[in-house]
Amino acid sequence: MKTLRKGKGTHVPQIELGIHPKIMDQMLGRPTGLLRDDIDFWFKAGYDYIKLQPRVDFDPGKIGVERNLKFNYDGTVVRKWASENSGVISTLEDFEKYQFPSPSDFDYSRFEQVRSLLPEGMGVIGQYGDILTMTWEMMGFETFSTAIFEQPELVMALNKKLGDLVLSMFEYFAQSDAVDVMWLSDDIAFSSGLLFSPDTLHAYFFPWLRKIGDLARKSGKPLLYHSDGILWDVFDEIVDCGVDAIHPIEPKAMDIVEVKERYGGKLCLMGNVDVDILARGSKDQIRSIVKENIEKVGYNGGYCVGSGNSIPEYVRYENYVALLEASREFGGG
């Protein structure tokens, strides 16, 4: 908590937005999935929190699912992706027919159970996101891009519907005694620039970030924000919306030392260890990156060690362990 507030704690903490169950299972030596198992993993790996999401299905009618899934030979799902052209909602009629969940459908049972199971000193991060991402994913990126000009009422209606649903989760996080920190994830950029024009972000993203930031301020809980990519053009607005910490400082998009110099007084920095190196590099490379980041960015606090995105299943297990070990060695954990 001290680090997220840009202070210097007793050590440099570790943080991840997501870790694939395969990696978690390997560390524990048993399947994870139950809340007790997940807590055991996060604790054993050295994190002082567990990240929880409410359980929710944004497509209870399973509309268009078969178009966006890839299957293994044994029939299990391995990937899903968003359509580049058309999605499940292209017209106002599609929107009116679509079956959305309601806030009462969201399952917060894990939040209600977690405090009785946590080891002493561990906290809870409540996380959800993708208000803008779900908006364009449900439409398809091309359809969304043209609809901004040709069907703005459709884009606004869908964005408001999704935004209100996700905002209700953060209202729960803000009020819940189980939640210590709030985390919004919603990608707005890639490695060479913003995904959307500033006008589009001002219409469909920043109003929601500001509302969530207001909830964080009123509740006294730090707000973390995740977006891949290069964020220079919108950093000031991100800060102004009430964000306390930025993730993941994607290394091919931004130099974390420059981010520290320009925004270290306003934002805690999180992540920055390249996922490609975690997947294909050496343990020595990882050790060197972690050491350099802690020395150049974490010297006065306000930095959490982690990947430059998340820990997918294709990351080498021994490299992930090297990341954890290096963070403790050089970060004093």
Block means of pLDDT (10 residues each) for the chain, 333 residues, are 95 97 96 95 97 92 62 46 75 95 96 97 97 95 96 98 98 98 97 94 98 98 98 97 98 97 97 98 98 96 97 97 98 86
Written as six digits, the tokens of 269 are 């920095």
> Measuring CA to CA, which residue among 308, 273, 279, 264 is closest to residue 293?
273
The confidence score (pLDDT) of residue 80 equals 56
Contact 277, 315 (CB under 8 A): no
The confidence score (pLDDT) of residue 69 equals 47
The confidence score (pLDDT) of residue 66 equals 52
Q: List, edge to edge, every strand of the sheet that includes 245-247.
A: 49-52, 123-129, 181-185, 223-226, 245-247, 268-273, 303-307
Contact 315, 16 (CB under 8 A): no
Ordered by where they begin, the domains of the chain are: 21-56+107-331 (3.20.20.210)
pLDDT in tens, 2-55: 999 999 999 999 999 999 999 999 999 999 989 999 999 999 999 999 999 999
Written as six digits, the tokens of 170 are 């953060």
For residue 46, count CB atoms less than 10 angstroms from its CB and return exposed for 0-12, middle for 13-18, buried for 19 or more: middle
Peptide bond preceding 248 in cis form (omega within 30 of 0): yes
pLDDT in tens, 235-261: 999 999 999 999 999 999 999 999 999
> Measuring CA to CA, which residue among 291, 307, 311, 234 is closest to residue 267?
234
- What's the pTM? 0.94
Query: Whats the size of the chain, residue-wise?
Result: 333
d(CA 305, CA 296): 12
The confidence score (pLDDT) of residue 289 equals 98
